[in-house]
Each structure stands twice: as C-alpha cells, then as structure tokens.
Structure 1
Amino acid sequence: MKILVVSPVPTDPVDAGNRARIATLTQELVRGGHTVHFACLPLETCDEGAMRARFGADRLHMLPTPPAAGVAARMAGLLRRAGRALKIDAAYRWPLDAWYDEACTAALRKLQAAHRFDAVFVEYVFLSKAFDAFERDVIRVLDTHDRFGLRHRHYLDAGMKPQWFSTTLSEEERGFRRADYVLAIQPTEARDFAARLAGAATRVLQVGHLIDLGEPVKSADRPAVVFVGSGNPLNVQGARYFIGRVLPLVRQQRPNAELLLVGGVCTAIPDAPGVVKLGFVPDLRDAFSAAGVFVNPVLAGTGVNIKLLDAMAAGMPIVSTTSGARGLDEHGGSAFLMVEDDDAASFAREVLRLFDAENERTRLAHRARDTALAWNAAQLSALEAALDKQQHFPSSLAESPIPAEALAP
C-alpha cells in the first residue's frame, strides 16, 4: 500500500516524544511492507537531511510555509492575550482550522495526483482539514496524539500556563468525523473518543506509541536515577519537583546518589548538587544503562508518556508518579512502581529500596519488558486494522462496532 503521512511535526531530530511517536509509526508502516511518503508542514525546525535519509529524497515533501501573520491576525493575538490575562476561557480556545493554511490543500492535491496514495495519515486534529485534498476512496487516518478538546483547562487546573492548541469539544469532534479512523494513543482516550462518536461512521482504534524495541539493557548497579524529557513545561515541572523535593530525601540516605537528566529538559534546569545533565543522547539505551532506576516524576499531562514506554521496553526498573503513568496506570505495581503525585517521601523511599534490592530491580525489569512487548503487539494489530481496505468505506464502517481488542490496554 502507498501511504502519505502529513504532519506539522518533523521526525528528525528525534528529540521529543511526539517526534519519536511519528518516527516509530512511519518505521512500522515501512516494516509492514508499505511505501511511505512524508509531507511536512514546516511549523518547527527540522533536520531535512536526516528526514531524506529516513524516507528517501523522493518520498520527503516539504509543504508550503504558512504566511506570516497579517495585521488582523496580530490584533486578534493581542486580544487573545488580553483575554487570557483576564482569565476568559474562550481566549484559550482556537477554531479547529485556525492553524491550517489552504495552500497546504493545493500542495497535497498535487502530490495525490502524482502518486495516487491508498491511505493518508494526518497528525493532529488541528491539521484534519488536510483530508479535503483526497478522494473518498483513500483511507483517512487521524493520529490524534492527545486530546485537544478543552486541553487548556488541564494546564490551568495544574497551575500552569496552557501550551499549544486547545479547542472546543464540538470542534474536536468535527475534526474526528473527517477521518475514517481516529487513532487514540491510550485506552482512556480511546473510550472517550468512541463514546463521543457513537453512531458516526468514523471508527476509533487505540494505537499507542509504537516502541522501537531493540535489546533490553542491564541497569547499572549504582545509586543513580535517570529522567528523560523534552523542554516541555510539564517535564520541566516534574524535574524541578524531583530535584527540589525527592532527590534531597534520597541523598540524605545515599549522599552519592545522582539524577541523570537527558533531553531538552536540561536547558531549563539550573545546576544543583547530584544533578548530571547529559543533554541529547542519540541512543536512550546508553542513558538507561548508566543508571540503576528510571524515574518519571511528572505531575500533570495528557496522552501517554512515551519515555515511560521506552524505559519499559529497555527493561528498566521504574518509579513513576500517577500522572506520569497516565494511560499505563493499570500496570503500576506490576511492570513499574507507582506513587501518588505529591508524595515525595514515598517516591524517595521506593527509589532507595530499589537501590538496595537487586532481585526486585530484576523482577521489575522483566515485567516492564514483557508488558512493553505485549503493548507493542496490540498497537500493531490495531494499526493493521486501520489499513484493511475491505473495512474502510463509510457505508460498512457505520455498521461496524469498535472492536474490544482495539480499546484494550
């Protein structure tokens, strides 16, 4: 099958969770025998050379750069900022297609005329208007990554400044209905989307982060923990929480204990005793194997925590907050240890216990790896279902229930 992936987020460099999600998704499509083209809307900086190497020079397509904001748009931005200062809820919401440029549709129509794709994947609901460029006989798959209906409220409830895109529930659902399949990244969102689309032709499948499994690592027998994260404010908040409240408790008992920080989060964290900033690490297994325990101290978020899945696949013993385990929380206590978000003492206690319990680290490592393997198999099965040409026509989908296995964790 010939597939086009349309994305506002590049695959390279793979220095953030959403980039890793898109990179592994396209990688698995190629491994499945499909021919994959990638159309990138340049909203973020990217490494075009690496992307050409990944997809092939003739399969990477850079879409037109959106025009600079005009006077009207700048004025609207000023009004939006004023509304946010006054805590007006509507000031945080965008119309569904506010970030979409019609020049993208024209460019995609040219690509479709030249290549005749069998299926098109669109990344993020705010880019769903891109489906307009394709005829109805093309399978349309919307990869949501996250829920964006009233997303800003999640940040406000956590006492943080809302980030990126947020819209109304009805606008989000309008974007869903443009697709034949909506991919939810974790079970809770899959069930929510399915309930909201009850009776619609659009079908919901859970296709979470597809893990680049590789070989498991052997964690280090030393008092060091590792946290991986981009510069996303949620990761920064989590790192600061661990450094300010958990690490001092750990170092009271183990003065030589260290936190290894990996990724863009390093740039937002000041130097502190016991904190080692490694920056961008091309192969995360190198960072994992330098520590005895992986920690995930984030205190809020939506979607699924991709680095937690990566650590599970690597066979790391893990301690996570409840929020850090979102989408995977039912595996807490078996595949990893989980503590309440604001319980720094319990977090420190579990880290110290793992430092001193090699057998427990080994048990958790095996359970984490096994859970990651089962997770990956379930996501790949759901992805294959989205590409079944015998099922994708709306007339048949309307009668097709959401399969239980697609919503299973």
Structure 2
Amino acid sequence: MKKLLIITPVPTHPVGSGNAQRILAMHRLLVELGYDIHLAYIPFEAGDLDAMRKYWGDKLTVLPYNKPWKHIRVAGIPLPDRLTRQLAARGWASMHIDYFFNDDVLDSIRSINNSFKPSVVLIEYVFFSRAFSAFPSSVHRVIDTHDIFSDRHKSFLKAGLIPEWFFTTKTEERKGIGRANSVLAIQGWEAKKLNEIGKGKAAIYTVGHLAEPNPLPPPAGLNSILFLGSDNSINRQALDWFLNRVWPKVHQSSPSILLKVGGSISKNVRPAEQVVSLGHVDSLMEAYAACDLVINPAQTGSGLSIKSVEALSYARPLLTTTIGAQGLPDSGRDEAYLVVDSAQEMANKITHLANSYDEIPKIANTARLLYHNYYNNSIAQLRRALERS
C-alpha cells in the first residue's frame, strides 16, 4: 500500500468552509484509491482539534507553528506586517511565496518523513510548498492549489473589498509551482493559467471538488431556498446583495417562499419575513433535502465555488451568478444550473420557477447527470497526477 502524506495549513474541522470540505473529500477518495494517509496539520488557521483528533485518530500530527511575520522590503527597508499588507493590497508591494511559512516547522516534518516514509506528499496551497524541502527527491510532490494567488488582491479591490489572506506575484507563484511534480487545479481555466504561470515547471491537472455524489429525490416544486456559506467578506457581500436587492422582489411576488441561511454566514442575517437563520449545519444532506433551490449570488471570487459544486452533488437545482458558476461544466449551463447576474433577473427567475412546477424537478435530474460526469472526470485526472509517482 502506497503511503501519502497530506500537509495542510488549514484545518479539516469544523467542516463549514469549502477548503475543509475539499480536503476531507480528497482524503475519502485517496483511501478508496488504496492509499495509506497521514495528515500533518500546520495550524496557520485555527480549527477544532478535538473534532480533528476524533476523525483522524493516530493518522494526525499537529505541528508546532508560529506565524513568522516575515517583512516585505520596500526600497530595501523592511516594514511591519500591518503596513506591508496594506501596501501589497494596493499593488505597491507583494507577499513572497513563503510569507507565512516558518522554517522552524521543517524539523518536525522531517521527523514525520522518517517515521511514516511517504512515497507521495500532497501539500494544500502553493504558499506552503516550502515544506517539500523536508523530503528527499524520490518523494512524488503534489500541490493542491485551491485557487490562483497571483494578483488575487485585484479582484477584491475591484469589488470594493479589502483583500484577505494571501496574494502574490506570478514570479513568486511560479517559484512555488516549480517545487512540485504535479499540480492540481480546481477548474479548467485555472489549469491553463497555472500552466502559463508555471511555464512547464510541473504537470497541471484539473481536479474539481470531489464531494461524493449523494443525489436526493428531485423537489416537486419551489417552496424553500437555501444559501450556505462560511462567514467571509465574499459571502457577506453576496448575502447582502441578495437580501437587499433580490429578496424584497421575490417576497412580494411569491410571499410563501422561505429563505434559509446556514453556516457561520447566518449570524449576519437580520430579522426579515420568511427568512430563517439555520446557524451551524450538522448535516449537509438534511439541509439540502429540506430545500428546493440553492442560490449562490456571488459578486466576486477567484476560485471554484465549493457551494455551487456541492449543490450539484446533491442533485439540487442551483441558481447562481457568472462568478458563482466558475469551474462548472459549460455543458450544464441553463439546464443543470441557472446563471443570471442582475438582481431583477434573479428575482424574475425565482418567480418563474415558483410558478413552473415541472421545471424544478427537470433541473434537478439534469444536475444529477452532470455531476456524475464531472466527478468521474476529476477522479481520472487525480489518478494521472498520482500515477506519475
């Protein structure tokens, strides 16, 4: 049995965020493919350690980590992090690829290599790719990118948001890509972009979100709408846009429809008629089974929207924007999922669906077939990426 080590700076629990869901889905599939998996968690982001230990058991190592707060130099002068992030966000400076990586963790990673002896190492996020330096050249190196980080801050600024998390230059991202043998892109256009950025330094594969297909019976009509998400600026903007510009129109024309908001984003829901805050969702299947339409009114974002793919995996009709549909197969547009961009169009579409009782089940059945093909194609690409080992 081949041994595969996953190194992640983000936790797998709680499971509310898209990146946690992707890592867990990847783990499930890798086990099905016959790999012995160990997870090394570098707590760059805090998580639920009790839940992680319960899930992973002795297959989990939590590594010691302190943010290094390496300074960016401007005109040769190192500036404190609170200033460099503001400068970088405006394009006046940039984070280098190892900005958040602390070399102090390398000895602990070497210890895992010596005891576990993996033949494959999969690192979540290119900006933690320096961890590859702890392994011999015989180890096959894979990066699961999740997103493209070159000039990522620009999409935030364009949407009127403050850039978050990590963003860098093409030169720095190329450096990270070059440390891997195989790189996983989460959607097709990102694979092309990463190939351009990497200039052939690594093989690029498109591996979409790997949520296990759990098709639910199609809804009979439209009585309830679901928005699920974690509490971040992109989701807050999307929810505000929908509640302020779309929902009043929907409620006026179809007052019996119920809007349910779940996940940590739900704490931002203000009291309103026919709007319910679900809070933390323990069972995704139950949440999807209790809705007839899933919305993703994203106004900005650079990566694949996990919530959009997840809706299809449960064979739920999805209404989203062009941004929210990024990475979904074009063949399913307007059949397996619906795309509109203006508030009036979205309100009109919901009203139309509420009055067309045969359309909701038809979309649900098409979504089921689309996701089946999407999932199988992603598995085939993942096999190819790993077989290079």
Q: What is the deviation of 1:354?
A: 1.4
Aligned to 2:193: 192
Q: Deviations over 1:44-77 (max 9, x none)?
A: 22222322232222x1000112157599999512
2:307 aligned with 1:307, yes or no?
A: yes
Q: Structure 1 residues 196 and 40, CA, compared in 2 at 3 Å: closer, same or farther?
A: same
Instruction: State the alpha-carbon separation in 2 of the partners of residues 142 and 94 from structure 1.
Output: 19
Q: Which amino acid aligns with 1:244?
A: N
Q: Which amino acid aligns with 1:170?
A: T
Q: What is the deviation of 1:211?
A: 1.1
Q: Structure 1 residues 174 and 70, CA, compared in 2 at 3 Å: closer, same or farther?
A: closer
Contact 2:329–2:374, Cα closer than 8 Å, also in 1 = no
Aligned to 1:128: 129
Aligned to 1:241: 241
User: Within 5 Å, which residues of 2 pair with 1:83-102?
Assistant: 83=87, 88-91=90-93, 93-102=94-103
Q: What is the deviation of 1:105?
A: 1.2
2:77 aligned with 1:77, yes or no?
A: no
Aligned pair count reads 383
Instruction: State the alpha-carbon separation in 2 of the partners of residues 194 and 67 from structure 1.
Output: 30
* TM norm structure 2: 0.93
2:64 aligned with 1:64, yes or no?
A: yes
Q: Structure 1 residues 327 and 177, CA, compared in 2 at 3 Å: closer, same or farther?
A: same
Q: Deviations over 1:323-359 (max 9, x none)?
A: 111111613212111112xx11111111111122222
Aligned to 1:283: 283
Identity %: 34
Q: Deviations over 1:369-402 (max 9, x none)?
A: 11111111111111111221xx34xxxxxxxxxx
Q: Structure 1 residues 81 and 55, CA, compared in 2 at 3 Å: closer, same or farther?
A: closer
Q: Structure 1 residues 209 and 125, CA, compared in 2 at 3 Å: closer, same or farther?
A: same
Aligned to 1:209: 209
Q: Which secondary structure does the structure 1 equivalent of 2:324 belong to?
A: helix
Q: Which secondary structure does the structure 1 equivalent of 2:226 belong to?
A: strand
Q: Structure 1 residues 72 and 323, CA, compared in 2 at 3 Å: closer, same or farther?
A: closer
Instruction: State the alpha-carbon separation in 1 of the partners of residues 72 and 373 from structure 2.
Output: 51
Instruction: State the alpha-carbon separation in 2 of the partners of residues 309 and 71 from structure 1.
Output: 38
Instruction: State the alpha-carbon separation in 2 of the partners of residues 288 and 170 from structure 1.
Output: 42
Aligned to 1:145: 146
Instruction: State the alpha-carbon separation in 2 of the partners of residues 363 and 67 from structure 1.
Output: 50
Q: Structure 1 residues 279 and 219, CA, compared in 2 at 3 Å: closer, same or farther?
A: farther
Instruction: State the alpha-carbon separation in 1 of the partners of residues 18 and 82 from structure 2.
Output: 31
Instruction: State the alpha-carbon separation in 2 of the partners of residues 141 and 225 from structure 1.
Output: 38
Shifted more, 250-259 versus 94-103: the winner is 250-259
Q: Deviations over 1:216-267 (max 9, x none)?
A: 2443645321111111211111111111111111111112222110111112
Instruction: State the alpha-carbon separation in 2 of the partners of residues 383 and 375 from structure 1.
Output: 12
Q: Which amino acid aligns with 1:378?
A: N
2:364 aligned with 1:365, yes or no?
A: yes
Instruction: State the alpha-carbon separation in 2 of the partners of residues 307 and 149 from structure 1.
Output: 23
Aligned to 1:39: 40
Contact 1:217–1:285, Cα closer than 8 Å, also in 2 = no
Shifted more, 75-84 versus 174-183: the winner is 75-84
User: Within 5 Å, which residues of 2 pair with 1:390-405?
Assistant: 391-392=388-389
* TM norm structure 1: 0.89
Q: Structure 1 residues 88 and 358, CA, compared in 2 at 3 Å: closer, same or farther?
A: closer
Q: Structure 1 residues 71 and 127, CA, compared in 2 at 3 Å: closer, same or farther?
A: closer
Instruction: State the alpha-carbon separation in 2 of the partners of residues 71 and 97 from structure 1.
Output: 11
Contact 2:215–2:368, Cα closer than 8 Å, also in 1 = no
CA RMSD of aligned residues (A): 2.0
User: Within 5 Å, which residues of 2 pair with 1:256-295?
Assistant: 256-295=256-295
Instruction: State the alpha-carbon separation in 2 of the partners of residues 27 and 225 from structure 1.
Output: 29
**Structure 1: 5+ residue stretches without partners:** 393-409
Q: Which amino acid aligns with 1:284?
A: L
Q: Which secondary structure does the structure 2 equivalent of 1:160 belong to?
A: coil
Shifted more, 264-273 versus 344-353: the winner is 264-273
Q: Deviations over 1:107-127 (max 9, x none)?
A: 111110111101000000110
**Structure 2: 5+ residue stretches without partners:** none
